[in-house]
Amino acid sequence: MIHAESERGANGKENSFKSDFLNRMHPSHQIQRLFDYVPGTSFFMKDEQSRMVSVSQSIVDRFGCEHEDEVIGRDDYDFFPAHIADSFVRDDQLVIRTGEPMTDRVEIWYTEQRLLDWFVTTKLPVYDKQGSVIGIMGVIRSYEGHRKTALPYSQISDVVEHIRENHRGRITVVELAQRANVSTRQLHRKFMDVFGMSVQDFLMKTRMQAACDELIHANTSIIDIAAQLGFCDQSAFTQQFRKHIGVTPSRFRRQHRLS
């Protein structure tokens, strides 16, 4: 009993010390500045409606803005295609509703060059003084940097790398399942568990990211890009590009060549 009371007393003193210090801090979100000095990691905070409350400078840059004020109060739909924003907001609201953290979620996001690529996101609930969840905060890290330590993904990591390195050629799900030494059904389930999407969707999104890069940085014609990425014709490529990116390839090229 004496030990338990002493522990409670020590914890009470420690909590009071922390509260006093935090109350002395300026109300601005100073901690976010730390992430400006952590390579490959970005910080964000959102309210209960998934609107940006605070972001690190790296996110400001990736949204194509100059100052944090241009981002605050806006949501993912202002910066991403609707289908990608839907996924972000759905995850936000799950964390807010349950109060449970969402850790190491692999998803598509913007690189420093404003291209869509794979990243790893962790989201935690933010509480008010009464203990109610009022939003979320989280960090985003590059998938490449995370891959080497992502043990839960190790069984399909070889499949992921094969897709990333060979997405311009013909790839079948059967071939990918053989690489992972699992059945096609097991491979599908593992991709759904890790990425929240099928193997086919992962392959298509990877191809769309490669198409974005080609449209911005090369003068390759759209019909040739479609052929290089395994589409039967330009129409099929345009249909998939609009579905995943939100605009046609030609419009995407015009927008980013002018920016």
CATH fold of 24-144 reads: Beta-Lactamase (3.30.450)
Q: Token pair for residue 163?
A: 């897709």
- Residue 257 tokens read as 């060549």
The distance from CA 61 to its chain's CA centroid, rounded to whole angstroms, is 15
Whether 199 and 173 have beta carbons less than 8 Å apart is answered as yes
- In terms of DSSP H, where are the helices of the chain? 2-24, 57-62, 82-98, 143-147, 154-166, 173-180, 184-195, 199-217, 222-228, 234-245, 249-258
The ranges assigned to domains in the chain are 24-144, 151-248
For tokens 């191809």, name the residue. 207
**What tokens does 201 get?**
């969707």
Level-2 CATH architecture, domain 151-248: Orthogonal Bundle (1.10)
pLDDT tens digits, the chain, 259 residues: what are they?
334 444 444 455 557 887 788 778 776 667 777 887 887 789 999 999 999 999 999 899 888 899 999 999 999 999 886 667 877 898 999 999 999 999 877 776 656 555 556 778 899 999 998 999 999 999 998 765 545 444 445 677 788 878 878 888 788 899 999 988 999 999 998 888 777 778 888 888 888 878 887 888 889 999 999 998 888 899 999 999 988 877 899 998 887 765 5
